[in-house]
Amino acid sequence: MRTYEIATIPGDGIGVDVTVEARKVLDAAAAQHGFALRWTEFDYSCERYSATGAMMPEDGVAKLAGFDSILLGAVGFPGVPDHVSLWGLLIPLRRAFSQYVNLRPVRLLPGTTSVLANRTADELEMVIVRENSEGEYSTLGGRHNAGQPGEFVLQESVFTRVGVERIIRYSFELARTRSKRVCSATKSNGIIHTMPFWDEIFELVAAEYADVAAEQCHIDALAARMVQHPDRLDVIVASNLFGDILSDLAAAVTGGLGMAPSGNINPERTHPSMFEAVHGSAPDIAGKGIANPVAQILAATMMLDHLGEVEAARSVNAAVEKVLEEGRVATPDLGGKATTEQLGTAIAEAL
């Protein structure tokens, strides 16, 4: 039997709650489609940090390297500064495994409503292709004149030609499988070194894809467009920071953060890819059984897709839609009274 080795890092807060449900649904899908998933759990988390001073062991990255994929819950916990938890786990993994694409599809699922007035589901479907390995998230920089009147901090953004070109190319390839439209998020009017460079490469790559309509839009105008004319957007390619902002906004105007999955993808498959929900660890509701597991389950279907189990991914998506459409089993954020576990089970059973 085809067997996939999956590393799972439930992490913190509701990450733990929702990962269990994603595993349950995936195991059911695997049984149905004739393959198996062998799960190995890792305790990398803020809890681990509190106990040991490190989010993961020194060979933490190496331990994951042999797996076919990684399913990540969420990281973050009060008392552990965010930049510690993220730069100690999430960001190093994204980089070590060259997961340079962060793919964030959103759409309005059945049984959910948009915060936008008068929008139909087919007007609210898009995907953010976020650069995931460089850009505004950088360790270069620091503080000068600490404690002096002239104190200041510097933060370096770094964009390489290789890094920009590969993410833009990915977005055009993706657009060929969808609407054949790519919109690039820029800010070359205000940010004058990196963003004109980004635009320049975008134009070069666009010229190779004559069959795809390419446009550029400043990040401020693009955020406005996402609420005013979301129907005119499909594939959006964006830097690390812009992609982060746009994908939360896109999730908010479609079904909400509880429904948005994310894949950290290594397209060349030289290292494992990693799948997670867009939402965070929400410590305030952790362990209460009220977290919505849908985003995590959809992230798991992106993992199935990536593993080549396209049929199984399709069944899970259909099961999610069916359960949401019926609306009988729904967590509080969806207007129901079901627990995380009940919703996970309902989706597994709907398969």
Ligand X SMILES: CC(C)[C@H](C(=O)O)[C@@H](O)C(=O)O
For ligand X, the binding residues (CB under 6 A) are 86, 189-190, 220, 244
Residue 253 binds which entry of a second copy, ligand X, none, CB below 5-8 Å type-dependent: a second copy
Rounded Cα–Cα distance for residues 240 and 159 (Å): 10
Q: Does 82 bind a second copy (CB under 8 A)?
A: yes
111-147: b (≥16 Cβ within 10 Å) or e: bbebebeebeeebbbbbbbbbbbbbbbeeeeeeeeee
Q: Does 5 bind a second copy (CB under 8 A)?
A: no
Minimum distance of a second copy from residue 146's CB (angstroms):
9
Residues 34-63: x where in contact with a second copy by CB under 8 A, - otherwise, as a string: ------------------------------
Q: Does 219 bind a second copy (CB under 8 A)?
A: yes
Minimum distance of ligand X from residue 245's CB (angstroms):
9
- The window from 8-16, 17-25, 186-194, 308-316 that contacts a second copy (CB under 8 A) reads 186-194
Show Cβ contacts of residue 177 under 8 Å, excluding neighbours closer than 6 positions.
Answer: none
DSSP 8-class letter at 192? T
* Residue 143 host element (H or E): strand 141-144
- The window from 50-58, 131-139, 284-292, 321-329 that contacts a second copy (CB under 8 A) reads 131-139
Question: What would the two tokens of residue 92 be?
Answer: 């190093």
Minimum distance of ligand X from residue 248's CB (angstroms):
7
CB 103 within 8 A of CB 129: yes
Rounded Cα–Cα distance for residues 205 and 208 (Å): 5
- The window from 32-40, 63-71, 172-180, 222-230 that contacts a second copy (CB under 8 A) reads 222-230
Minimum distance of a second copy from residue 280's CB (angstroms):
8
